[in-house]
Structure 1
Amino acid sequence: MSMFSTGILVLTSPLHALRVVPVLSSAAKLVERTLYVHLHPGLNLGGGGQPRPVFIPPAVDLCSLITRLYSNAADVCAHLDVRVLLANVHPSPGIGGPFPTPQYLSHPPEVLLTDFPLQDPAQSNQVTQCLRGYAGRCYACRPGLPSVLLDPPPPATSDQESDPGLTVPEEEGKPLETYPDVVVGGTFDRLHGAHKTLLNVSCLLATRRFVIGVCDRGMLKKKVLQELIQPYTVRVEQLSEFLRDVKPTLQVEIVPLEDPLGVSVVDPLLGCIVVSEETRKGGEAVNRKRIENGLPALVLHEIHVLKDVHHSETEEEKISSSSLRSRLLGTLLIPPKERPGLPLRPYVIGLTGGSGSGKTSVAERLEALGAVRVDCDKLSHRVYEPGTAAYRRVVEEFGPDVLNEDKSINRPALGKKVFGNQERLKALTDIVWPETALLVKNAITQAREQGKDVCVIDAAVLLEAGWTEMVHEVWVTVIPEEEAVSRITERDGVAPEDARRRLRSQASDARRLEHANVVLSTAWEPEVTRKQVLKAWNLLQKRMQQRRAGQ
């Protein structure tokens, strides 16, 4: 199997589907791949003739199987992008042709796998040829697609039989009610197993149209780490790609959801809304509003929430996007820019964040781990000292009334002259920032001469001052605005509205995150911050070793 394959296609029976993902996880763990699962009951690879498709009618047990398959995948191999394909699932067995038109998958399979047992091992070559022919009729695969016959899963042990995550539901053949038009809503940030369960089950229920409301703008404000939520356009594209693979015949409509009810309360064609135990009340609210609008109530189809066996003490017990976002903290989100003229020792981190974001506490923790901390706020104080070039230029530009009796610069008085006046503020920063940058460079040079490995530039104005050229990576601290306001009012004794004005006069988190290689948050208890910074530090050490080894 190629280490760089973009897709894996596995043909399996519903009986084996729950065990096939763990079998594949070890073989595909080196890189992130898309694993397409084509469920095909009754496929016979050892009979000598060409296999014929068996179109699966939607059934309750199939919904349960899909739910457990995604749950199983999340438990044992979250690195795999698992997608259960439904092109061969139809409302009745008579719908469809002898073979579907070959379907183009978003990540063309580079290897084909099956776990169907062979009655005669000597037939393996014949069977693999038959397998390739069958896959080529179902999906657009490259010529000469390699196929692998997996060893059939061993019989279930007593422990496995008692594990609901590895057993196939006993309920078989019960028809599943389908609807022409189905609707769901959600954030759909970083598609995970719970999202895919919701989407797959909705695709089973919908025979014509699938409407998806995707949270945007105001609906995101109260989300955990909403700063890290993918842009709306990215989330929509990921949804579209997934659904094109899963059920290409379905008409998909994706619309922005800017209030809790959205299009579901005004679309007269909708017949069903898919909810979970947690969102059932939202579905009931939709029906109350539909009835108020003179529309029939929707059928509420409820799915189970998937449990997250990997959750930490600060994360939800269910598989959720907020947990996935929290796991991104401290990791490398985007590769650092190459700066050929910048020596790799010391490795320089530019740490920035809004007022009240906990930037200073993070800098202090990094210093305790061994980094040299360069406090740019303290350095800027030195720039204003009498006798310096910046001191003379500030007095010339803003007048002697910005001086104290001892001839030192009265920074509050100076601040009043520039507050709210962008032109005067720029005149001040054009004087102060270049002089501060010189002091920062001197501090980095001193750290290099002392043989230090890491230097942290603690700078609230890192981006505004253009100091990113001096650093190898940009780290950003984020925190919800209301928490920042609370901290500023308590720390500085200012009114909440003054705190908000201060925050809005600074660069936005959105702008900082455009440059962020690593993001941290101090929104939780100090011990959580400590673990987060330690994680970031350890990953940094590995990156530094790799870069220096490549010199």
Structure 2
Amino acid sequence: MALFQTGVLVLTSPLPLIPLHIAPVLTAAAKIVKNVLYVHLHPGLGLAGSHIRPVPAYIPANWEVSRILSNLYTKSFNVCSFLDVRVVLSNIKNHCSTQQPFSTVQKLSEPPEVVLTDYSITDSNQSNQVLQCLEKYILSCYTCKPNLRAMVLSSGVNSAKDFCPDVKDSRLCESIPNYSDVVLGGTFDRLHCAHKILLSLSCLLTGKRLLIGVADGELLNNKVLKELIEPYQDRVEKVRNFLLDVNPTIQYELVSLSEPYGPAITDPKLECIVVSDETQKGGEAVNQKRLVNALQELAIHKISLVKDFQRASDEEEKLSSSTLRKRLLGSLLVPPKDNPRIPRTPYVIGLTGSTGSGKTSVMQYLQKMGAAAINVDAVSHESYRPGGAAHQKIVQQFGQEILQENGTINRTALGKIVFADEAKLKCLSSIVWPETAILMKQMIGGAAAEGKSVCVLDAALLLEAGWIDMVHEVWVVIVPEDEALRRIVKRDNISEEDAKKRLASQWTNDQRVQKANVVICTQWEPSFTEKQVQKAWQLLQNRLPTC
């Protein structure tokens, strides 16, 4: 079966029935479409005659439609999470809205190559006619790739009468509220189905403007694995791209939020704020601020959290960006670049992280799995020893007072000097790093002679020293700074102030992660760290050179 990057799924079943058969339809669509799948609700669309049967210009935006949207996105996450599913809303309208039905050809960000439908064909002789009619219809709705293909998907049920829907709830036919100007906020990291539900239902609430605050700056400081949060501009563009695809008729304003409230407490035009179960108190706090500012309170529209049915026992019950970021740990975030100057074997991993990050425990796990280990800190110590290449240069630069009685360098005394003066630290680095690199290359050669397939450099200063050209991949170990400080103070018996100076002399977690192929976090229990390392090691085996 041919595979297409993008497609449109036209659902013609009556709206109450869609949730009952959407899972098999999505599963079938996922075998044909690999990237983006647009879903358009067209209940009652007729494709069997010489002309498409007239359908209403729009679908009323009632609570039933709201429930169907939530169901569609939730099911898509559970049965085809790799697909970027987007439910088009341009033909869904609240009866109070001034919004006009979208009548021109809609330009989608990813023009579809195939159109799929759940339309039931009872006469096989009509198949070609239905598909031609479907192609013509979808071309009148969207910009599409040339040579658009059309296919009919089976839901596994022969007809609507085979369904046994719940007793109709009359309240579902009631229109959802409608407001001119609606506001909501969030981080919107790695746009997922819960975000799509929040944004889509917010679109249904407004006929004019949707104001969206996107968290940035200090608001991200307390987020789990904040280092893995996508850059602000990337998150904004993904949200904007999604919204313009699902409903281009609404005015969208996306603003940066560096504090909790933003324009929600100052914009007099706003009428409604959209919240979740978790952020309802935040909505109430917004209203308190608005009253102080002599502004009208906002209607609070609450949307339920989405359950994560793929969650592990130690993960949150709700679907969240923080859980998705945790699932990235140990996986390949960025493919390694081929460097012909590095021998193919052994495959060299540069394991780095700030002091106190937990590199030692990660290295121990890797050694158990068969990796050769090179402790770069211990290697650099060799250059400090009397007779070592760097010993005399260091003494000449920093004086005899750093020597112990036996002639060895007192690294603690030297550390107090260099960590208090950035220029002196750079001077020491310029002496030690080149000599350490020579010794490391010799040890990597020794691992190759022993037949080791993987060699790991445990190097806190891998990136600062420019040793990245000696490794095939960079694995970064991170932990929140406050936890790193606690570990350093306890391990080295130094003051918190001295620990902060050590961390300040190194790259930040954010800087390291930008260079990382794989990220591991030791913030949680050791068993979870080990799982991350096992995952990273297993995935690495597929990347190792075969010869």
Q: Which of the five TM-score ranges fits, normalised by the shorter chain?
A: over 0.9
Map residues 164-203 of structure 1 onto 2, 5 A cutoff: 171-203=171-203
| TM-score of the aligned structures, taking structure 2 as reference length | 0.94
C-alpha displacement at 1:244, in angstroms? 0.6
C-alpha displacement at 1:371, in angstroms? 0.4
**What are the superposed Cα offsets for residues 412-468 of structure 1, whole Å, 9 maximum, x if unpaired?**
232233233333222211111111111111111111111111100000000011111
Greater Cα shift, 430-439 or 465-474: 430-439
C-alpha displacement at 1:95, in angstroms? 7.6
Contact 1:351 1:456 in 2 (8 A): yes
Contact 1:29 1:79 in 2 (8 A): no
Greater Cα shift, 316-325 or 436-445: 436-445
- Aligned residue number for residue 237 of structure 1: 237
- Aligned residue number for residue 62 of structure 1: 65
C-alpha displacement at 1:27, in angstroms? 5.1
Residue 42 (structure 1) aligned to one of 41, 44, 50? 44
Give RMSD over aligned pairs. 2.4
**C-alpha distance 32-420 of structure 1, shift in aligned 2 (>3 A):** farther
- Aligned residue number for residue 301 of structure 2: 301
The question of 1:134 aligning with 2:124 is answered no
Runs of 4+ off more than 4 Å: 29-32, 93-99, 159-162, 167-172
Contact 2:216 2:232 in 1 (8 A): yes
- Aligned residue number for residue 113 of structure 2: 110
C-alpha displacement at 1:402, in angstroms? 2.2
**C-alpha distance 425-501 of structure 1, shift in aligned 2 (>3 A):** closer
| Paired amino acid for 1:132 | E
Q: What is the CA–CA distance in structure 1 between the aligned matches of 2:534 and 2:326, rounded to whole Å? A: 15
- Aligned residue number for residue 504 of structure 2: 504
| Paired amino acid for 1:375 | N
The question of 1:33 aligning with 2:32 is answered no
Unaligned 5+ runs, structure 2: none
SS in 2 for 1:274: strand
Contact 2:417 2:424 in 1 (8 A): yes
C-alpha displacement at 1:71, in angstroms? 1.1
- Aligned residue number for residue 314 of structure 1: 314
Q: What is the CA–CA distance in structure 1 between the aligned matches of 2:189 and 2:528, rounded to whole Å? A: 23
C-alpha displacement at 1:144, in angstroms? 2.4
| Paired amino acid for 2:129 | Q
Contact 1:16 1:115 in 2 (8 A): no
Residue 75 (structure 1) aligned to one of 72, 75, 78? 78
Q: What is the CA–CA distance in structure 1 between the aligned matches of 2:102 and 2:135, rounded to whole Å? A: 14
C-alpha displacement at 1:314, in angstroms? 3.1
Q: What is the CA–CA distance in structure 1 between the aligned matches of 2:541 and 2:505, rounded to whole Å? A: 35
Q: What is the CA–CA distance in structure 2 between the aligned matches of 1:106 and 1:22, rounded to whole Å? A: 26
SS in 2 for 1:491: helix
| Paired amino acid for 2:439 | L
C-alpha displacement at 1:96, in angstroms? 8.0
Q: What is the CA–CA distance in structure 1 between the aligned matches of 2:399 and 2:8, rounded to whole Å? A: 74
Unaligned 5+ runs, structure 1: none
Map residues 349-364 of structure 1 onto 2, 5 A cutoff: 349-364=349-364
| Paired amino acid for 2:470 | M
C-alpha displacement at 1:136, in angstroms? 0.8
**C-alpha distance 414-143 of structure 1, shift in aligned 2 (>3 A):** closer
Q: What is the CA–CA distance in structure 2 between the aligned matches of 1:15 and 1:26, rounded to whole Å? A: 21
| Paired amino acid for 2:438 | L
Greater Cα shift, 485-494 or 248-257: 485-494
Map residues 54-453 of structure 1 onto 2, 5 A cutoff: 54=56, 55-92=58-95, 100-154=103-157, 171-453=171-453
**What are the superposed Cα offsets for residues 36-91 of structure 1, whole Å, 9 maximum, x if unpaired?**
00011121111331343421121111111111111111112111111110011123
Aligned length: 543
**What are the superposed Cα offsets for residues 174-225 of structure 1, whole Å, 9 maximum, x if unpaired?**
1122111111111100011110000000001110000001111111111111
Greater Cα shift, 448-457 or 255-264: 255-264
Q: What is the CA–CA distance in structure 2 between the aligned matches of 1:322 and 1:428, rounded to whole Å? A: 40
- Aligned residue number for residue 524 of structure 1: 524
| TM-score of the aligned structures, taking structure 1 as reference length | 0.94
**C-alpha distance 513-156 of structure 1, shift in aligned 2 (>3 A):** farther
Q: What is the CA–CA distance in structure 1 between the aligned matches of 2:264 and 2:184, rounded to whole Å? A: 8
Q: What is the CA–CA distance in structure 2 between the aligned matches of 1:257 and 1:348, rounded to whole Å? A: 41
**What are the superposed Cα offsets for residues 368-427 of structure 1, whole Å, 9 maximum, x if unpaired?**
111011000111111111112211222222232322111111222322332333332222
Contact 2:90 2:102 in 1 (8 A): no
**C-alpha distance 169-469 of structure 1, shift in aligned 2 (>3 A):** farther
Q: What is the CA–CA distance in structure 2 between the aligned matches of 1:440 and 1:169, rounded to whole Å? A: 72
**What are the superposed Cα offsets for residues 90-117 of structure 1, whole Å, 9 maximum, x if unpaired?**
2339988897211011111111100011
| Paired amino acid for 2:65 | L
C-alpha displacement at 1:161, in angstroms? 6.1
